[in-house]
Amino acid sequence: MTSPLLEQLQNRYAYPLLDADSYDPFVYSNETAVLFFCNDPVQFPESNDVAVILPELVKAFNGKLHAAVIAKPIERELQARFRFTGWPSLVFLRNGEYLGVITGIRNWQEYRQETAGILAAEPSQPPGFDLDKVCGVAH
């Protein structure tokens, strides 16, 4: 991590930085997890905004969410698994199974509403990639 706001997630809030070894134990030992994919905060400065919002989101859901930050070396592999196309992203899991994703920055009310909807959902397969977005094809 290269941002003080991202480092604060580990130092102040004790959110683990998940790597290949710690990913499975974390997602399978917490009923509901929210995984923060921040990529490079210089390239994606919105990651700093999400780093401020995430602890507030966790607090708003009264301990139902267990947050972690995804380490850069495993981000792309997990991005392919969860099929999201933008950064930053919050991926929600229940007992290791996909619930949904919020990509990009939102206002506070949208975060609360989207998170509530995701947490009310049943686990499912991630949606298919929108190849136009991934490949940058314009119509």
* Domain map (residue ranges) of the chain: 4-135
CB 85 within 8 Å of CB 133: yes
Residue 50 in this model has a pLDDT that exceeds 90: yes
Q: Is 39 helix (H, G, I), strand (E, B) or coil?
A: coil
- CB neighbour burial string for 92-128, b if at least 16 within 10 angstroms, e if fewer: bbbeeebbbbbeebbeeeebeebbeebbeeeeeeeee
Tell me the pLDDT tens digit for each residue of 77-108: 999 999 999 999 999 999 999 999 999 999 99
Per-residue pLDDT, 137: 46
pTM: 0.91
pLDDT computed for residue 138 by the predictor: 46
- Residue 131's pLDDT band (boundaries 50, 70, 90)? low
Classify strands 97-103 and 89-94 as parallel, antiparallel or unpaired: antiparallel
The architecture in CATH of the region 4-135 reads 3-Layer(aba) Sandwich (3.40)
